[in-house]
């Protein structure tokens, strides 16, 4: 799976994930034995944890989702935490969909991306923000769409959705719209890459798997994906228009 993930990374930075237990941090520092946490990474399972505090602490630690929302909002120059929460959710969803869908399409295997196996550094951006120290694949299956739904949708986006709504007042439907938009965006990049290289079978696979994923109950109402195409129009808005200097995204319902 390590080789597969390196191949998938050729599609673009959102499709890349750091691998190997001996890699150093993005700054090149640290020893091979430090591990991801020493370089500012945490398992995504910790990001999704809700209501977990240490009773020995004088004050509970800030919710990691709330911290991330505030950071994104600050970088974008908006005082609205819900905008930061929305865009942080969509960004992470896009990363997870891209890595998993890319591997499924290009290699016919879905990586084991359990939330306690994937490490994330909120201070970094793609391709350095995700680290999978010990990459492996899920068992071979004839139902790649089902494995993708289980891995990304159930394994990551459901708990991230819950944690985000607990930390910040943002619409649940909006967040699922972000999940659908992120999947459609991953499809567009991957499909374009495959077509440009004459990989027509993989391009068809990308379309088929994505269409199947949009039949999942949590995604089926998020927007409309053109039959046999990569054009998507969502039924909600990610709130990017509320960012100073922002506008409407290409798939926005407000267009």
Residue 55 reports pLDDT greater than 50: no
Surface-to-core class of residue 71, CB atoms within 10 Å of its CB (0-12 exposed, 13-18 middle, 19+ buried): middle
Task: Convert the pLDDT of each residue in 97-109 to its tens digit.
Answer: 999 999 999 999 9
Res 60: pLDDT? 61
Ranges of each domain in the chain: 2-242
24 falls in which pLDDT band (50, 70, 90)?
very low
Q: Return the C-alpha torsion angle 70, 76, 80, 83, nearest 10.
A: -90
Distance CA 49, CA 90 (A): 18
Residue 32 reports pLDDT greater than 50: no
Residue 50 reports pLDDT greater than 70: no
The H helix count followed by the E strand count for the chain is 9, 6
Q: Please, what's the largest Cα pairwise distance for the chain?
A: 60
- Average pLDDT (125-151) is 95
Return the minimum-mean-pLDDT range out of 14-23, 87-96, 178-187, 235-244. 14-23
């Amino acid at each position: 799976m390590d080789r597969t993930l390196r191949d998938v990374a050729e599609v673009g930075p959102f499709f890349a994930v750091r691998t190997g237990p001996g890699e150093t941090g993005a700054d090149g520092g640290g020893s091979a034995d430090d591990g991801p946490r020493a370089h500012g990474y945490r398992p995504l399972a910790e990001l999704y944890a809700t209501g977990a505090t240490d009773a020995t602490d004088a004050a509970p630690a800030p919710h990691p989702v709330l911290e991330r929302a505030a950071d994104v909002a600050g970088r974008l120059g908006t005082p609205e935490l819900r905008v930061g929460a929305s865009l942080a959710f969509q960004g992470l969803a896009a990363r997870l969909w891209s890595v998993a869908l890319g591997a499924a399409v290009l290699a016919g295997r879905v990586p084991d991306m359990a939330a306690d196996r994937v490490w994330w550094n909120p201070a970094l951006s793609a391709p350095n923000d995700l680290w999978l120290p010990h990459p492996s694949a899920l068992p071979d299956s004839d139902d790649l769409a089902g494995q993708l739904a289980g891995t990304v949708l159930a394994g990551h986006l459901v708990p991230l959705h819950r944690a985000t709504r607990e930390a910040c007042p943002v619409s649940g439907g909006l967040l699922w719209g972000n999940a659908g938009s992120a999947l459609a965006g991953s499809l567009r990049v991957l499909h374009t890459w495959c077509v440009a290289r004459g990989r027509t079978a993989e391009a068809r696979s990308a379309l088929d798997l994505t269409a199947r994923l949009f039949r999942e109950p949590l995604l089926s109402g998020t927007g409309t994906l053109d039959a046999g195409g990569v054009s998507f129009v969502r039924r909600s808005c990610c709130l990017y228009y509320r960012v100073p200097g922002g506008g409407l995204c290409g798939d926005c319902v407000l267009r």
